[in-house]
A = this chain, B = another copy of it.
Amino acid sequence: MSDADERERRAWTYLAGVAEPPSAAVIALVDAIGPVDAADAIASRSVPRGHSAVLGATEPRYATDTVDADLATCDRLGVRLLTPADDDWPAWPLSALDRATTAARGGRPLALWVRGPAPLGALGDAAVALVGSRAATSYGEYVAGRFASGLAAQGRAVVSGGAYGIDGAAHRGSLAAGGLTVAVLACGIDRAYPSGHARLLEEIGVRGLVISEYPPGTTAAKHRFLTRNRLVAALSGATIVVEAGRRSGATNTAAWATRLGRPLGAVPGSITSATSVGTHAMIADGQATLVADVDAVASLVAPDGEDPRGPAPMRSTDGLPRDQFRVIEAIPAHDGVSIDEIAFSAGLRSDAVRRALAGLDVAGLVDEDRGLWRLRR
């Protein structure tokens, strides 16, 4: 890494933690003068005219330099800090957060801490958010799991919040079907929250994607859940509420989907179930479309039979044999990796990885160069 790259990386890391995300003031400053100068300006308390708001936003934290610690944590956990300067930055999905009607309640993130092999840019409109009550019923968990595995079979990523109940069932259903699942956290990416999902989040970080806009060490807090919900909705082509009580956090994610102009679906259930009161209200009010099966979800994402997934990288992995899918998901977006590294990430034996790579090579999806395998662009 060049000195300039390294300076930029340290600047982004500083900026990503210097104010409670999302900070419109910090983002505006970075947009105006770039990350390196923005970091210097904030640290030295001498910001350009018209950017004085950034001083207040960064006052509590500007003097605490956690850059070395954050970078060490990232290296240890295999986390990368994704910024708008990266090819992989999901600029289009996140741009909806900058519209006047939504920015006031949470604009685009400055940067995202990301753990996992898949390119974030591959999500596109193909991703579906499956969200719902933490206090889910067995019916709700069953539906979430079934929808998630069905979406995985269609090559669609499943986005959720990593929580107990519907979120967990959605992640597990996607993983079980060999799909790509994305957990968006309301705490630092080094934290396992909830603690009972430590192993699940670990697996998602290896086979899927764990994402957070909060710097390492940040604890989960109520306002962060609400802020996080906007990312779940923004990173998904559609949001499906599987179960929600009258005052479920899922109704907040649903509101974000609506605000962002994304299709919103809701799953019906027994009218005697408290965790279907919220979904029924959304359907009855016309806010959400009733979805009773995976096909209905698919047509919500792609009305009129159009396939909004387009020629995105995920497309080419549709219908791959399970091992090949796991292997390709274990190869990072921009780096070459050895067979041993792939075997570790994918949770497969080396000979299985070799066989899968041979198939992927024939299909034109991967390239080998001096023992390192990388995705073919």
Contact = CB atoms under 8 A, between A and B. Distances in A.
Interface of A: 139, 142-143, 267-272, 276-277, 280-281, 283-284, 289-293, 296
Contacts of A276: 268, 292
A293 B143 CA distance: 23
Contact of A268 (B268, B289, B293, B296): B268
Given A268-B268, A268-B269, A269-B268, A284 B291 contact: yes
Contact of A283 (B270, B271, B281, B283): B283
Contacts of A270: 139, 268-270
A289 B142 CA distance: 26
B267 A292 contact: no
Given A268-B269, A268-B276, A290 B296 contact: no
Contacts of A271: 143, 267-269, 292-293
A280 B292 CA distance: 7
Contacts of A293: 271
Nearest to A291: B284
Nearest to A285: B290
A270 B291 CA distance: 11
Q: Which of A269, A271, A276 has the most CB of B within 10 A?
A: A271
A71 B280 CA distance: 51
A281 B296 CA distance: 10
Would you list the 8 A-B pairs with minimal beta carbon distance, nearest first? A268-B268, A280-B292, A284-B290, A271-B292, A283-B290, A280-B290, A269-B270, A268-B280
A271 to B, nearest CB: 4
A277 B290 contact: no
Q: Which of A283, A284, A291 has the most CB of B within 10 A?
A: A284
Contacts of A283: 268, 283, 290
Nearest to A265: B284
Nearest to A242: B271
Nearest to A293: B271
Contacts of A291: 284
Contacts of A277: 292
Nearest to A273: B270
A232 B240 CA distance: 36
Contacts of A139: 270, 272
B292 A284 contact: yes
A272 B141 CA distance: 13
Q: Which of A267, A270, A277, A293 has the most CB of B within 10 A?
A: A270
A111 B114 CA distance: 74
A142 B284 CA distance: 21
Contacts of A281: 292
Contacts of A289: 284
Contacts of A284: 289-292, 296
A290 B268 CA distance: 9
A281 B268 CA distance: 11
Contact of A290 (B142, B272, B290): B290
Contacts of A268: 268-271, 276, 280, 283, 290
A290 B277 CA distance: 12
Contacts of A269: 268-271
A318 B263 CA distance: 44
Nearest to A142: B272
A368 to B, nearest CB: 46
